[in-house]
Structure 1
Amino acid sequence: MYLSFSDRRGGKDDTSKRATTPFKISPIIISLGLVSLFTDISSESVNAILPLYITGALGLSMVAYGFLDGIYQGISAIVRIGAGWTADRADHHKLVAFLGYGLSAVSRAGLLVATGFGAVTSIIAVDRIGKGIRTGPRDAMITEAAQPEHLARSFGVHRMLDTVGATIGPLLAFAVLLAIPNGYHAVFVASLACGVIGLAVLGIIVPARKQRAEILAKSAPASPHQVVTEPAGRLPFRWADLNNVGMRRLLLVAAIFGLVTIGDGFIYLVLQSRASFATQWFPLLYVGTNVAYLILAIPLGRLADRWGRMRLFIVGHGALLAAYLCAALPSTGAAATLTCLLLLGVFYAATDGVLAALAGQFSTPASRASGIAAAQTVVALSRLLASVGFGVLWFSLGRQHAILLAAVALAVAIPLSVLLVRGIKLAQVTE
């Protein structure tokens, strides 16, 4: 293994490869996208009503919601690296991902019987632990199936399908609440059904590939006189493979941004309280963001491959800063609300899949799930702290001052991150 410095596009010889290699999407990525589509219908239909369910139906404070949102954002961190390591060591990414998707599906049934804050918190924690288990192995499967020179674009295709589900989920919640006022349990039933469908697609359609075994088979000696340096059937996993300059800088920048990224639910509650529209319309705020994400996921993934993945990752947080400022404005018009939702969609399209692409780029094939999981763990932990802290700020200072303070912190984080990556060329780990 060696560390080769690359051009700004994030890959060795990217320019020549991109000029001669047409973009092709793997059926594996499409299949995983369908799994994510149904799973996101399941999770986002619940997520779209959760702020109202906690603060309205259960009558809890913003501090309680901040704690719950922190759990939602960050509890998956306790299993992400362990799940990635297990998938890498066992060379069975699909099995680990299936366990995570299954755990999330089971948690939907728990929502049907949960009545108190403690029970809801526990069930949300189980769901997010399932997400933490599945995400790293799933993204490693996407990385292995994608063309290296079109990695971010391939993630964009997956995230587009994922976001179709994330758009349908809130629409489903909206339709249910429109037909059945306070019909939260009807939303939970629909969520459970979609979660089971997604799990079935993963189990039946997505192939179970042993990536390390395939790599070794391709690199087998052409003649008996060649020396084999590794035992047959094993590609070594080494934590040291993740200790490279690109990964270190990526984790640091991701942590800084995560600490100043507040949950969408808070922003939507700000918009809802500012405009005072009826609660049944609340899920449509999620739809607005997801539609923008859906439209922009592939174009911005392609831009990341061409212009620079780290560059776009940082610029995407500029869109988040603009969304904070838009939410903090005293204006109550529809234009301001739609602009805020569009900016949030730009933020996710420019950062979500791009972060996974960067982490996969800085990892070896034998440590890819662990590398992606490490980046996602840093983000999850930092966002947990951000959500809990913002809930306290809202309770102490009020929504206006709290979101302005978050905007100031993000405005400081953006140039700081630029300085952290300046002066170094992004690197790619190569076997």
Structure 2
Amino acid sequence: MYISVRDRPAAGRSARTPGRVSSVVVSLGVVSLLTDISSESVAAVLPLYLTTALGLSTIAYGFVDALMQGASALVRVAGGWAADRGDRPKWVAFTGYALSAVTRGGLVLAQGFGAVTALVAVDRLGKGIRTAPRDAMIASASDPDHLARSFGVHRTLDTVGAALGPLLAFLILWAIPDGYTTVFVVSFGFAVMGLAVLGLLVPDRRPRAEASDAGTRMRPFSWRHLTDPRLRRLLVVAGVLGLLTVGDGFLYLSLQDRDGFATQWFPLLYVGTNVAYLALAVPVGRLADRVGRARVLVLGHLALLAAYAAAAVTAGSTVTTLACLVLLGVFYAATDGVLAAVAGRLVDPAARTSAIGTAQTVVAVARMVASAGFGLLWFTLGRGNAMLTVAALLAVAVPLCYLAVRGLGASERSTPTAPVDPA
């Protein structure tokens, strides 16, 4: 793989240079790396902080996890619309990152369930604002034939941060038992660094203006672009699968409840999943480019199904615990960046950010419902039976969704696109 340090193609050169990953992708990956160290260090201790330090039930944690999964859905489409309308995706993304950074500082001072819940909600709103504009910048700067790989490179850097964050939380809790405040302070510092890199080092790309300069006419944004039947089909599939996607925190709480290991080891569960994701993000992205992104997106849920089974077994072991973590990593490698890659190529480039934001909104809302429902299901049926119930439903949904996405792979490759920076 080659990574260029140029941000714009030289005059007269082809706008597509196979085999290179844009410096924009790498820069945004560094921003995500720093931000994920911040966010994942908090996420890794939040289930324990709420259920142990604050003494909340799984129903209460399910409510908080639902906010973490779905609060961003309230503004994802708005963030995508603002980026498409103003042709300034960088600064829309900057606003979202800034909101999240502020909440990290707020966690240092927050006391009680209400304050923590409010800050989690604001943090997720920030994530919702920034995600679609960031992914649209990646899409506009990438070779369309290697788009899933570009997202894989970005997600690899992102996942380095997602692995380092829980590891950092583990080291802090190992040195300072109940040192949640220290975790929040360190998290705030990394969030500020990520914001600085975005503001100072990431170029202010304007996809519509750049297309015009290159002699390619891009139609203005219209909501009609989002009514494409192919996009609607993708949204239905993503929504159904999202309803059967339980938050990671529940799987980790299930493993901890079954195996009874010491609480200071809990953040390392996040590290295991993120290391697996880190190793697989680029290879799975390349596979998706070759065999069809929509297919990989759906079939990746088979790994989630297997992870549910590994977490549900009564007699736990090191093997089943590690298998659950690796399978979760496979699931995220096959779905996270791939969803954006599919959605971004099913519509006109003028509406790309909004299409990505809409797809991510559907998934976020569905996962919000899934988390709230699973908290109640666990409370009612118990840990193992709740996991097996969701696994059985997912086993029925995956083949049906696979049939529903047939043909979308060809649509992704045939959609017209704006010129792409080879840098």
Counterpart CA distance in 2 for 1:421 and 1:217 is 36
CA deviations on 1:77-116 (whole Å, 9 max, x unpaired) are 0000011001100000000000000000000011011111
Q: Does 1:347 align with 2:331?
A: yes
Cα 1:200–1:423 shift into 2, 3 Å: closer
- Kindly indicate whether the alpha-carbon contact (under 8 Å) linking 2:299 and 2:402 is maintained by their aligned counterparts in 1: no
Counterpart of 1:62 in structure 2 is 58
Q: Is it true that 1:150 corresponds to 2:146 in the alignment?
A: yes
1:424–1:29 Cα change, 3 Å: closer
Partner of residue 293 from structure 1, selected from 264, 271, 277: 277
Hey, what does 1:124 align to over in structure 2? Answer: 120
Does 1:371 pair with 2:367?
A: no
Aligned to 1:415: 399
Give the structure 2 partner of residue 180 of structure 1.
176
| Corresponding position: 1:198 with 2:194 | yes
Note if contact 1:41-1:167 (Cα within 8 Å) is conserved in structure 2: yes
Which residue is 2:12 aligned to? none
Q: Secondary structure at the match of 2:20?
A: coil
Contact 1:174 1:281 in 2 (8 A): yes
Match of 2:382 in 1: 398
Cα deviation digits, residues 334-387 of structure 1 (max 9, x gap): 111001100000000010010010011112221111010000000000000000
Instruction: Give 2:366's aligned amino acid.
Output: S
For 2:408 and 2:156, the matched residues in 1 are separated by: 31
Q: Which amino acid aligns with 1:317?
A: H
Q: Is the 8 A contact 2:294 2:408 kept in 1?
A: no
Q: Which amino acid aligns with 1:82?
A: A
Displacement of 1:426: 3.9
Paired letter, 2:340: A
| d(CA) in 2 for partners of 1:363, 1:178 | 49
Q: Residue 67 and residue 34 in structure 1: after superposition, are their counterparts in 2 closer, same or farther (change >3 A)?
A: same
Question: Which residue number in structure 2 is paired with residue 216 of structure 1?
Answer: 212
Q: SS at the partner of 2:261?
A: coil
> Unaligned regions of 5+ residues in structure 2, if any?
1-15, 418-423
Equivalence map 1:6-405=2 (5 Å): 22-219=18-215, 235-405=219-389
State the identity as a percent.
62
Secondary structure of 1:112's counterpart equals helix
How far apart are 1:209 and its partner, in Å?
Answer: 1.4
The one-letter amino acid of 1:141's match is M
For structure 1, the residue ranges without an aligned partner over 5 or more in a row are 1-19, 221-229
Q: Give me the whole-angstrom Cα distance separating, in 2, the residues matched to 1:399 and 1:278.
A: 19
Deviates more, 1:418-427 or 1:385-394: 418-427
TM (norm. structure 2) is 0.93
Q: What letter matches 2:327 in structure 1?
A: L
Q: Which moved more, 1:144-153 or 1:110-119?
A: 110-119
8 A contact 1:136–1:370 mirrored in 2? yes
RMSD of aligned alpha carbons: 1.3
CA change 1:80–1:276 in 2 (3 A) is same
Deviation of 1:329 after TM superposition, in Å, equals: 1.1
Does the CA-based 8 Å contact 1:245-1:427 persist in structure 2? Answer: no
Deviates more, 1:204-213 or 1:361-370: 361-370
Aligned length: 400
